[in-house]
Amino acid sequence: MARVRVDCHLHTAASGDAWTTLDQLAERAGREKLDVVCITDHNVTDAAVTAAARDMGVRIVVGEEIRTPDGDVIGLFLTERIPYVLPLAEVVSRIRAQGGLVYVPHPFDQGRSSLGPVLPELCVAGGADIIEVFNAKISDQALNERAGELAAQFGLPGGAGSDAHDPPGIGAAYLEMPDFDGPASFLAALPDARVTGEYRPYAPRYPSARTGP
Protein backbone atom coordinates (compact mmCIF):
# COMPACT_ATOMS: atom_id res chain seq x y z
CA MET A 1 0.00 0.00 0.00
CA ALA A 2 1.27 3.46 -0.90
CA ARG A 3 2.45 5.65 1.94
CA VAL A 4 2.24 9.42 2.10
CA ARG A 5 3.83 12.22 4.10
CA VAL A 6 1.27 14.40 5.87
CA ASP A 7 1.92 17.67 7.71
CA CYS A 8 -1.17 17.79 9.90
CA HIS A 9 -1.00 21.41 11.11
CA LEU A 10 0.24 24.55 9.36
CA HIS A 11 -0.80 28.13 8.66
CA THR A 12 -0.93 30.61 5.80
CA ALA A 13 -1.07 34.39 5.76
CA ALA A 14 -4.84 34.10 6.24
CA SER A 15 -4.17 33.26 9.90
CA GLY A 16 -3.15 36.86 10.58
CA ASP A 17 -0.01 35.88 12.51
CA ALA A 18 1.59 33.93 9.64
CA TRP A 19 3.03 35.04 6.30
CA THR A 20 3.16 32.00 4.02
CA THR A 21 1.45 32.56 0.68
CA LEU A 22 -0.15 29.68 -1.20
CA ASP A 23 2.60 29.85 -3.82
CA GLN A 24 5.23 29.62 -1.10
CA LEU A 25 3.35 26.72 0.48
CA ALA A 26 3.28 24.81 -2.79
CA GLU A 27 6.99 25.40 -3.42
CA ARG A 28 8.05 24.45 0.10
CA ALA A 29 5.83 21.38 0.26
CA GLY A 30 7.41 20.13 -2.95
CA ARG A 31 10.89 20.75 -1.59
CA GLU A 32 10.06 18.88 1.63
CA LYS A 33 8.52 16.00 -0.38
CA LEU A 34 5.17 16.30 1.38
CA ASP A 35 2.20 14.58 -0.21
CA VAL A 36 -0.58 16.12 1.93
CA VAL A 37 -0.80 19.28 4.01
CA CYS A 38 -3.58 20.23 6.39
CA ILE A 39 -4.12 23.99 6.21
CA THR A 40 -5.38 24.91 9.66
CA ASP A 41 -5.56 28.70 9.75
CA HIS A 42 -6.80 30.45 12.87
CA ASN A 43 -10.59 30.76 12.78
CA VAL A 44 -10.85 30.89 8.95
CA THR A 45 -10.93 28.37 6.10
CA ASP A 46 -10.80 30.66 3.04
CA ALA A 47 -7.17 29.97 2.10
CA ALA A 48 -7.57 26.23 2.64
CA VAL A 49 -10.65 26.10 0.42
CA THR A 50 -8.87 28.13 -2.27
CA ALA A 51 -5.81 25.87 -2.09
CA ALA A 52 -7.96 22.73 -2.33
CA ALA A 53 -9.44 24.03 -5.59
CA ARG A 54 -6.02 24.73 -7.12
CA ASP A 55 -3.36 22.46 -8.56
CA MET A 56 -0.85 22.89 -5.74
CA GLY A 57 1.24 19.81 -6.46
CA VAL A 58 0.26 18.62 -2.97
CA ARG A 59 -3.10 17.43 -1.65
CA ILE A 60 -4.91 19.78 0.70
CA VAL A 61 -7.00 18.90 3.73
CA VAL A 62 -9.23 21.80 4.72
CA GLY A 63 -8.91 22.49 8.42
CA GLU A 64 -9.31 25.26 10.95
CA GLU A 65 -7.67 26.00 14.30
CA ILE A 66 -10.56 27.25 16.38
CA ARG A 67 -10.28 29.27 19.57
CA THR A 68 -12.61 28.13 22.35
CA PRO A 69 -12.84 29.38 25.95
CA ASP A 70 -10.95 26.22 27.00
CA GLY A 71 -8.19 26.43 24.37
CA ASP A 72 -7.56 25.76 20.71
CA VAL A 73 -8.89 22.76 18.82
CA ILE A 74 -8.46 21.86 15.16
CA GLY A 75 -11.15 20.54 12.86
CA LEU A 76 -9.85 18.51 9.89
CA PHE A 77 -11.79 17.66 6.70
CA LEU A 78 -14.15 20.59 7.16
CA THR A 79 -16.72 21.75 4.65
CA GLU A 80 -17.49 25.08 6.32
CA ARG A 81 -15.92 27.49 8.78
CA ILE A 82 -16.70 27.20 12.48
CA PRO A 83 -16.94 30.47 14.48
CA TYR A 84 -14.46 31.04 17.29
CA VAL A 85 -15.18 31.49 21.03
CA LEU A 86 -18.04 28.99 20.96
CA PRO A 87 -18.04 26.48 23.85
CA LEU A 88 -15.69 23.55 23.27
CA ALA A 89 -18.52 21.00 23.26
CA GLU A 90 -20.34 22.94 20.54
CA VAL A 91 -17.20 23.21 18.41
CA VAL A 92 -16.64 19.45 18.70
CA SER A 93 -20.28 18.88 17.73
CA ARG A 94 -19.97 21.16 14.69
CA ILE A 95 -16.78 19.43 13.53
CA ARG A 96 -18.42 16.03 13.80
CA ALA A 97 -21.60 17.27 12.08
CA GLN A 98 -19.48 18.03 9.00
CA GLY A 99 -17.95 14.57 9.03
CA GLY A 100 -14.70 16.09 10.24
CA LEU A 101 -12.14 14.96 12.79
CA VAL A 102 -11.27 16.61 16.11
CA TYR A 103 -7.51 17.13 16.29
CA VAL A 104 -6.02 18.51 19.52
CA PRO A 105 -2.90 20.65 18.87
CA HIS A 106 -0.01 21.33 21.28
CA PRO A 107 -2.11 20.21 24.28
CA PHE A 108 0.45 21.00 26.99
CA ASP A 109 2.18 24.10 25.60
CA GLN A 110 1.61 26.75 28.26
CA GLY A 111 2.74 29.51 25.92
CA ARG A 112 -0.26 29.04 23.67
CA SER A 113 -3.98 28.49 24.06
CA SER A 114 -4.05 24.77 24.78
CA LEU A 115 -6.65 22.27 25.96
CA GLY A 116 -4.37 20.49 28.45
CA PRO A 117 -6.37 21.12 31.65
CA VAL A 118 -9.65 19.89 30.14
CA LEU A 119 -8.25 17.33 27.71
CA PRO A 120 -8.67 14.23 29.92
CA GLU A 121 -12.32 15.10 30.42
CA LEU A 122 -12.73 15.62 26.65
CA CYS A 123 -11.13 12.24 25.95
CA VAL A 124 -13.32 10.46 28.49
CA ALA A 125 -16.36 11.97 26.77
CA GLY A 126 -15.15 10.71 23.38
CA GLY A 127 -14.70 14.25 22.08
CA ALA A 128 -11.17 13.89 20.66
CA ASP A 129 -10.12 11.87 17.61
CA ILE A 130 -6.40 12.68 17.35
CA ILE A 131 -3.85 14.10 19.80
CA GLU A 132 -0.90 16.02 18.39
CA VAL A 133 2.08 14.14 19.82
CA PHE A 134 4.72 16.15 17.97
CA ASN A 135 4.50 19.89 17.41
CA ALA A 136 7.61 21.34 15.78
CA LYS A 137 7.27 24.69 17.54
CA ILE A 138 7.67 23.13 21.01
CA SER A 139 11.28 23.26 22.18
CA ASP A 140 10.69 21.22 25.36
CA GLN A 141 10.23 17.69 24.03
CA ALA A 142 8.88 16.57 27.40
CA LEU A 143 5.66 18.36 26.46
CA ASN A 144 5.35 16.40 23.21
CA GLU A 145 6.11 13.21 25.13
CA ARG A 146 3.42 14.04 27.65
CA ALA A 147 0.94 14.41 24.79
CA GLY A 148 2.00 11.00 23.50
CA GLU A 149 1.47 9.44 26.91
CA LEU A 150 -2.02 10.90 27.15
CA ALA A 151 -2.90 9.66 23.66
CA ALA A 152 -1.74 6.16 24.64
CA GLN A 153 -3.70 6.34 27.89
CA PHE A 154 -6.94 6.91 26.01
CA GLY A 155 -6.12 4.73 23.01
CA LEU A 156 -6.10 7.66 20.60
CA PRO A 157 -3.86 7.99 17.54
CA GLY A 158 -1.16 10.63 17.40
CA GLY A 159 -0.72 13.44 14.91
CA ALA A 160 2.32 15.50 13.95
CA GLY A 161 2.43 19.03 12.60
CA SER A 162 4.97 21.67 11.78
CA ASP A 163 2.62 24.40 13.03
CA ALA A 164 4.48 26.42 10.42
CA HIS A 165 3.68 30.11 10.21
CA ASP A 166 6.48 30.73 7.70
CA PRO A 167 7.77 28.84 4.64
CA PRO A 168 10.95 27.52 6.34
CA GLY A 169 8.82 25.81 8.99
CA ILE A 170 6.79 23.68 6.59
CA GLY A 171 7.56 19.98 6.87
CA ALA A 172 9.39 20.25 10.20
CA ALA A 173 7.03 17.53 11.45
CA TYR A 174 4.88 15.08 9.56
CA LEU A 175 3.36 11.62 9.56
CA GLU A 176 4.43 8.94 7.13
CA MET A 177 1.34 6.79 6.84
CA PRO A 178 -0.77 4.64 4.51
CA ASP A 179 -2.59 6.67 1.88
CA PHE A 180 -6.21 7.65 2.51
CA ASP A 181 -9.15 9.19 0.69
CA GLY A 182 -11.15 10.88 3.43
CA PRO A 183 -11.56 11.31 7.17
CA ALA A 184 -12.59 7.72 7.93
CA SER A 185 -9.66 6.15 6.09
CA PHE A 186 -7.30 8.80 7.47
CA LEU A 187 -8.32 7.88 11.00
CA ALA A 188 -8.09 4.17 10.24
CA ALA A 189 -4.57 4.57 8.84
CA LEU A 190 -3.18 6.56 11.77
CA PRO A 191 -2.22 3.55 13.95
CA ASP A 192 0.26 2.61 11.19
CA ALA A 193 1.73 6.13 10.99
CA ARG A 194 5.34 6.97 11.77
CA VAL A 195 6.11 10.37 13.32
CA THR A 196 9.04 12.39 12.00
CA GLY A 197 9.83 15.78 13.46
CA GLU A 198 12.36 18.28 14.68
CA TYR A 199 12.11 21.50 16.64
CA ARG A 200 12.15 24.39 14.18
CA PRO A 201 11.51 27.86 15.67
CA TYR A 202 9.73 30.60 13.80
CA ALA A 203 11.85 32.33 11.20
CA PRO A 204 11.95 36.13 11.59
CA ARG A 205 9.58 37.81 9.17
CA TYR A 206 11.91 40.73 8.59
CA PRO A 207 15.52 39.59 9.17
CA SER A 208 17.76 42.26 10.65
CA ALA A 209 19.99 44.01 8.16
CA ARG A 210 23.55 42.79 8.34
CA THR A 211 25.93 45.21 9.96
CA GLY A 212 29.69 45.42 9.98
CA PRO A 213 32.17 44.13 7.37
Cα 190 to Cα 185: distance, rounded to the nearest angstrom: 9
Q: What percent of the chain lies above the pLDDT cut of 70?
A: 96
DSSP letter (8 states) at residue 202: P
What is the layout of strands, in order, in the sheet containing 36-39?
158-161, 130-135, 101-104, 71-76, 59-68, 36-39, 3-10, 173-178, 194-197
DSSP letter (8 states) at residue 44: -
CB-based contacts of 144, cutoff 8 Å, min separation 6: 133, 134, 135, 138
Cα 202 to Cα 178: distance, rounded to the nearest angstrom: 29
3-state secondary structure of 195: strand
Q: What percent of the chain lies above the pLDDT cut of 90?
A: 93
Please report, for the chain, the start and end positions of each structural domain, with discontinuous segments joined by +: 3-32+40-197
Top-tier CATH class for 3-32+40-197: alpha beta
pLDDT for 205 beyond 80: no
pLDDT for 99 beyond 90: yes
Cβ count near 67 (within 10 Å): 16
Cβ count near 187 (within 10 Å): 16
pLDDT, position 184: 98
pLDDT, position 172: 98
Higher pLDDT, 204 or 159: 159
Segment 102-144, tens digit of pLDDT = 999 999 998 999 999 999 999 999 999 999 999 999 999 999 9
CB 147 within 8 Å of CB 107: yes
Q: State the number of CA atoms in the 13 A half-sphere of 164 facing the CB.
A: 29
